[in-house]
Structure 1
Amino acid sequence: MDWRDWELFCEVVQHGGFSAAARVLGHPKSSLSAAVQRLEANLGLRLIERTTRHLRLTDAGQTIYQRVRPLFAALHDTHGEALAMSSAISGTLRIKSPYELGAHHAGPVAIELMRYYPDLAIRIDVEHEIVSPVAENYDIVFAMLEQPLPSTGIVIRKVSSLERGLYAAPALLEKLGEPRTLEELARLPMLIGPHDAPWALTTPAGVTEHLTVQKARLVSSNADIRLQAALAGLGVLRVTASFTDAAVAAGLLRRILTDHRCEPLNIHALLPARQFVPAKVRCFLDALDVHARGDRVEGA
C-alpha cells in the first residue's frame, strides 16, 4: 500500500482541485491525478467525481478524507518538531510574502542565508493574499498589519517595523503644487493598496491625524505597479523608504511632507502552531531582523 497516494488525495481535496494542489506542492497535475486513480483502483471505490468546473467528493471520499487527513496533519507536525530539535539549517524553507517585503527584504535575506548554508533551499511565493501557513503548507507567511489575519492553528509574531514615506514625481508636483499640509495632500491623486486603512501621519506638533483617501487614481496590491505609476507622475505613493531609494537618488521621485511621520509598516510572521520552531525558521527570522536594522547578515 502506497501511503503517499493517500496523502496526495488529501492534498487535492484540501486545495479544492488538482490544479491548485499542483501549484502548492510543485508537482505535475498529471502525477496527482495518477495517484488518486491508483488509490481508487486499490480500494475499489470512487472517491472523487471529476467535472470540467469543480471537484466533488463522493460519500466514500468524504468519509475517508475526514478520517485520514488528521493523521497526515499530525505526522507532518511530528516531523517538523523532530527537525526543530536539530540545530542543522537544512531542508526547504517555504515562505509567502507580499511583493514589497519579498523583493526588498525577504529576498536579500534568503540569498545571504543560502550562501552560508549549502543544504538550505528556499521557496518564496510573492503574493499579497494572506493565507494560513497550515492550510497552504508554508513555514512562514508574512502579513501586513492592516490586513485581517487568520486566527486558528497559527502563531502570529511581529518581526519588524519598516519606515514609510510619501513620494511623488517632480512633474506631478510642478503641475499640482507640492503639499505642505494634509489638506493640500488630500487634493492630490493617490496610489493605494486595496487594504489600505486611512493613512496615519504624525504632524510636527506630535498629533497623529488620519487621511482618508478620496481620490485614488490607482488601486493595486502590487507595490511595484504603484511605484511605476508614481514614476509616471500619476499620483502620490506611500511606501517603505527602502523601496524608493534608487528613484529618489536618480531624481525621479521626491519625498514630500518630510516634516510629517508616516505610520511604519508593521510586518507579522504567521507560523504554524507547534511546540518547536524549526531551526531554519528561527534562522531566517533572526536574519530578517538583522537586515531590518541595516546590519549585514552573518552566518550562524
Structure 2
Amino acid sequence: MNWDDFDAFCQVVDHGGFSAAARALDRPKSSLSASVARLEAELGTRLLERTTRRFRLTDAGESLYRDISKPFAQLREHAVDALAKGVAVQGTLRVAAPYEFGAHHLASVACRMMKDHPQLRVHVDVEHARVALFERNCDLVFSAIEHSFAPSTVVTKRVYSLERGLFASPSLARPELARPEDLNSVPLLAGADDTAWAFRHADGSTAELEVRNPRLRSGNAGVRLEAAIAGLGVARITGTFCAQAVAEGKLVQLLPGWQSEPLRIYALLPGRRLVPAKVRRFLELLEEEAKGTLA
C-alpha cells in the first residue's frame, strides 16, 4: 500500500479539488488523480464523486479523511521542520499582498533580502482582491482581513497596523465638516468591502459613519487616491499611501481630531510549525522596517 496515495487524497480534500492541490503542490493534476484512483482500487470503494466542475466526498471518503487527515498533516509539518532548520536563505520567495500595503512597505524589505542573499529570488505580487493562499502557491500572503475561516494548517500573524485618515482635495475642505456625521453631505470614495467607518475622538468619544451609496467604490487604493485628488469625494486612505499628495498640497486631511480605525495587515503562513528560513527572515526584516530601523 502506497502511503503517498493517502497523502494525495488528503491534499485534494484540503485544497478543495484536484486543480488547486496540483497548483499548491506543483504536481501534475493527472498524478493526483491517479493516486486517488489507485487508492480507491486498493480499498475497493469510491472516496470521491467527481464531475468536470466539482467533487464531493462519499461516506467512505469522509470517514477516511476524518481518520487520517490529522496524522498526515502532522507528518508534513515535521518534514517541513526538518527542512527548515539550518537551511540557507535561497530559492524563490513568493509573496502576495494588498496593493495599499505592498506598494509602499515591501519594496525595501525585498531589496534588502536580495542584497543579503544572492541565491534568493523574490516574486512580489500586489493585488487589489483577496489572495487565496493555497491556490497561488505563495510562501507568504498579507491580508487586510484576518482569515479566521482559513484551514487549521494556516498560521495568522498580525504584523502591521497602518494609520488611516480622511483625505480630500482642498476644494472639499469646508469648515462645516467637523464631525463624522457631517460627511453625509459630501460624496464618499469607499473601499470594496467598506460598510461603515469607525472613529475615535481625542476625548475618548466614538462615532461611526455608515457608508451608503458612495460616489466611488473600489478595492484599488490608487483609484480612490486619484479620485480624491480630482475633487470627487472624501477617501479613507493610509497616511503612507497618500503622503506625497499631501506634501504637494493636492490633498488635505479632514477631521484631524478624529482617529480613524487603522488598517490591520495580517501575515498568513501555510504551516503551523517552523517555516522556511527565507520566510522567517522576510518577517524579521519587515518587523525592523515597521520600527524604522531597517537601513
TM range (shorter): 0.7 to 0.9
Asked whether 1:202 is paired with 2:197, we answer: no
2:231 is paired with a residue whose SS is: coil
2:210 is paired with a residue whose SS is: coil
Q: CA deviation at 1:181?
A: 0.5
Asked whether 1:32 is paired with 2:29, we answer: yes
Q: Normalising to structure 1: TM-score of the pair?
A: 0.74
Change in Cα spacing, 1:38 to 1:159, as seen in structure 2 (3 Å) is closer
Q: CA deviation at 1:51?
A: 1.7
Q: CA deviation at 1:109?
A: 1.9
Which of 212, 216, 232 pairs up with 2:209?
212
Change in Cα spacing, 1:81 to 1:38, as seen in structure 2 (3 Å) is closer
CA distance in 1, matches of 2:146, 2:217: 15
Change in Cα spacing, 1:150 to 1:94, as seen in structure 2 (3 Å) is farther
Task: Supply the AA of the counterpart residue of 1:217.
Answer: R
Q: Which residue of 1 aligns with 2:253?
A: 255
**Contact 1:178 1:256 (C-alpha < 8 Å) held by counterparts:** no
Q: Which residue of 2 aligns with 1:287?
A: 285
Change in Cα spacing, 1:136 to 1:218, as seen in structure 2 (3 Å) is same
Aligned-CA RMSD value: 3.8
CA distance in 2, matches of 1:26, 1:224: 33
**Contact 2:189 2:216 (C-alpha < 8 Å) held by counterparts:** yes
Q: CA deviation at 1:188?
A: 1.8
1:49 is paired with a residue whose SS is: strand
Change in Cα spacing, 1:48 to 1:122, as seen in structure 2 (3 Å) is farther
CA distance in 2, matches of 1:136, 1:34: 19
Q: How many residues align?
A: 287
Q: Which residue of 1 aligns with 2:178?
A: 181
**Contact 1:109 1:291 (C-alpha < 8 Å) held by counterparts:** yes
Q: Which residue of 2 aligns with 1:21?
A: 21
Q: CA deviation at 1:88?
A: 2.9
Written as runs of structure 1 = structure 2, the 5 A alignment for 1:124-273 is 124=124, 126=127, 128-129=129-130, 139-144=139-144, 149-150=148-149, 156-170=156-170, 173=172, 177=174, 180-182=177-179, 183-193=181-191, 194-195=193-194, 197-203=196-202, 206-215=203-212, 216-271=214-269
Task: Supply the AA of the counterpart residue of 2:72.
Answer: F
Q: Which residue of 2 aligns with 1:120?
A: 120
Unpaired stretches in structure 1, ≥5 consecutive residues: none
Task: Supply the AA of the counterpart residue of 2:162.
Answer: L
2:284 is paired with a residue whose SS is: helix
1:243 is paired with a residue whose SS is: coil
**Contact 2:95 2:140 (C-alpha < 8 Å) held by counterparts:** yes
2:232 is paired with a residue whose SS is: coil
Change in Cα spacing, 1:63 to 1:262, as seen in structure 2 (3 Å) is closer
2:89 is paired with a residue whose SS is: coil
Q: Which residue of 1 aligns with 2:74?
A: 74
1:242 is paired with a residue whose SS is: coil
Change in Cα spacing, 1:250 to 1:290, as seen in structure 2 (3 Å) is same
Deviation per residue, 1:147-183 (Å, 9 max, x gap)? 5735856655442332322211345x17xx4654014
Q: Which residue of 2 aligns with 1:99?
A: 99
Unpaired stretches in structure 2, ≥5 consecutive residues: none
CA distance in 2, matches of 1:13, 1:148: 19
1:165 is paired with a residue whose SS is: strand
2:267 is paired with a residue whose SS is: strand
Q: CA deviation at 1:278?
A: 4.3
Q: CA deviation at 1:258?
A: 3.6
Change in Cα spacing, 1:96 to 1:85, as seen in structure 2 (3 Å) is same
Q: Normalising to structure 2: TM-score of the pair?
A: 0.75
